[in-house]
Amino acid sequence: MPNYKFKMKKYLLLFIIAVFAMSCSKKVEVKGKVTGGSPLERIEFIEASGVATLPLINIGINKDGTFAGNFEVPKSGMYMVSYGGKRNLIYLKGGQKLEISGNAMTFPTEYVITGDAKKNNDFFTATQKYLSTYAQTVNMNELMSKDEKTFLKGIEKVQADINKNIDESAKKFSPDNEVVTWKKNDLSSTLLTILNQYELSHKQMGNPSFKVTKAFTDFSNKLEENKDVLVKEHPLYREYLLTKMSPDFQKFAQAKSAGKTDVTTSELFAEYLNKNQKDLSQTAKDYLLAFVMAQSDIHPGAPEKTVEKIKKLIDTDIKDNTIKEDLKKIQFAINGFKIGEAAPEAALVKADGKSYNLSENKGKPYLLTFYASWNPYIGEATVPVLKEVVNFYKSKMNFVFVNVDDTKDQFVKTSSSLLKGITGTNVYAENGLNSDIAKKYGVYGFKLPCFIIVDKDGKIASKPFFNLGDPELVTVLDKQTGLSAPKVNPNVQLQPGGMGMDPAAAAAQQQANPQPAQTK
């Protein structure tokens, strides 16, 4: 009998541990179907409230439109789901099983959710639909032109109407309190933005000395009662704070940067926060500085000197460890290794199943190319140029093509067709974008295709390039091989919108500061 009791206690303990582990899990299991979906499109989830956040997962779609995957969420809150150039917000909690579906024409702008994420997102969808309808009943331009008393009365009515709908939707769908609070704080952020626009517009209408009354200020202050919560969870509130500071910061920056040519916006803003915004919480300073870094100084074309300055600034001025790590990850993903660092080894496999090590190239420089069959810029726009590059330099260097498709079968099909006739070593990274090498080299969907040059000693010799026609890439190749390539057109890849930036670089710039679309 004692032995029986011991076993019961043991099993009970194991059960308690299992339940505790489930309750603390940050993993979300996701599956669903995009009717009419294409295997060339991908689904990504990104934390909407973070700073400079990277995709948490990049999921492929099967031929029948189904998809499945799992990923860790940093915290319960709003996330952004993207597909086919469209984005929408979704509320997620760790430990959930998310079942989401829609039609390729409208997903994820419109989606249907089942499973334990349903009640929160039914509430969120209902309130968003109400906002879309309600916005058509309010003539905001007319309201902005009114005197302050009439304007405030109109804004207070807007607040009351929307809060009433939020409360009614909460009763109907029984969502978690956190998502209701998020929605009300989101409304506060929007109203603060409108209040600021009202004040700015009246100053710009020939009355620069225009000042709002105490009633206006009191209303603003009431909306900002939870400042740290707002700045943590709502990018729109961060934009509001930055807009408020903008005139003062511009004066500060002009005075401090006079006669200087190498000072970064982030350095100036960090100094401005410390000297001119002493009443601002450290939390707010961290989020705002991170926002400015991502917007201004973390981008594919940043000089190495700027990259090093931002690294130092992240270490010295950002106090929140989560924000610090997020910034370091996005900077590495976009700017890559420091020149001269050892190229990391990673698990790779050839089509015949034999393992492959990058160190096998030691003694000869090589061009490391990351690609996937679903990436639109590895086909007609890149392959012919890649073939020319390989043919010109192959006598003096090696070429390694790393496939990050979802399966080895897809790698075999892609490498044998897409890279047919191109000299080089074709290898597969097991688990694709979740592979060992993808993590070590900071490879994400928005970086594909990606080209990195490694010297004969196995050290990084270049930043990551996204365009084979980049003159700097040709310069590094010439230096590593001793050859001299003919001049090439720097715009060999398709240019989105005629903006002169290659597709991966444009995506990287957006990735550094993903903002969910406002549906108000």
Residues 163 and 284 in one domain: no
Residues 362 and 503 in one domain: yes
Give the end of a domain, one of 116, 141, 157: 116
Give the end of a domain, one of 165, 197, 225: 225
Reported as a pLDDT band with limits 50, 70 and 90, residue 3 is low
Two tokens, residue 128: 């968003």
Query: Is residue 40 included in any domain, yes or no?
Result: yes
Q: What is the pLDDT of residue 205?
A: 76
Does 80 score more than 50 pLDDT?
Answer: yes
Query: Is residue 343 included in any domain, yes or no?
Result: no
pLDDT tens figures, 248-273: 999 999 999 988 888 999 999 999 99
Query: Is residue 7 included in any domain, yes or no?
Result: no
Does 238 score more than 80 pLDDT?
Answer: yes
- Distance between CA 405 and CA 154 in Å, rounded? 54
Query: Is residue 20 included in any domain, yes or no?
Result: no
Number of domains in the chain: 4
Residues 282 and 298 in one domain: yes
Reported as a pLDDT band with limits 50, 70 and 90, residue 487 is low
Per-residue buried b or exposed e for 382-412, using 16+ beta carbons within 10 Å of the residue's own CB: bbebbeebbebbeeebbbbbbbbbbebebbb
- Distance between CA 451 and CA 474 in Å, rounded? 12
Mean pLDDT (whole number) for 111-134: 95
Does 276 score more than 90 pLDDT?
Answer: yes
Segment among 115-119, 394-398, 440-444 with least mean pLDDT: 115-119
376 or 42: which leads in pLDDT: 42
- Report the percent of the chain where pLDDT is more than 70: 88
Query: Is residue 517 included in any domain, yes or no?
Result: no
Residues 498 and 399 in one domain: yes
Does 163 score more than 90 pLDDT?
Answer: yes
Give the domain range for residue 306.
236-335
Mean pLDDT (whole number) for 447-470: 94
Residues 58 and 91 in one domain: yes
- Distance between CA 392 and CA 410 in Å, rounded? 29
* Residue type, position 131, single letter: L
DSSP structure string for 289-335: HHHHHHHHT-STT--HHHHHHHHHHHHHH---HHHHHHHHHHHHHHH
Residues 141 and 96 in one domain: no
Mean pLDDT (whole number) for 426-444: 96
210 or 176: which leads in pLDDT: 176
What sign does the CA torsion over 286, 320, 293, 505 have? Answer: negative
Q: What is the pLDDT of residue 23?
A: 43
pLDDT tens figures, 281-292: 999 999 999 999
Q: For helices 471-481 and 383-393, what crossing angle results, to 10°?
A: 20
**CATH label of the domain that carries residue 69:** 2.60.40
Does 506 score more than 60 pLDDT?
Answer: no
Mean pLDDT (whole number) for 98-103: 96
pLDDT tens figures, 17-47: 444 434 456 899 999 999 999 988 999 999 9
Query: Strands 366-371 and 97-103, how do they pair?
Result: unpaired
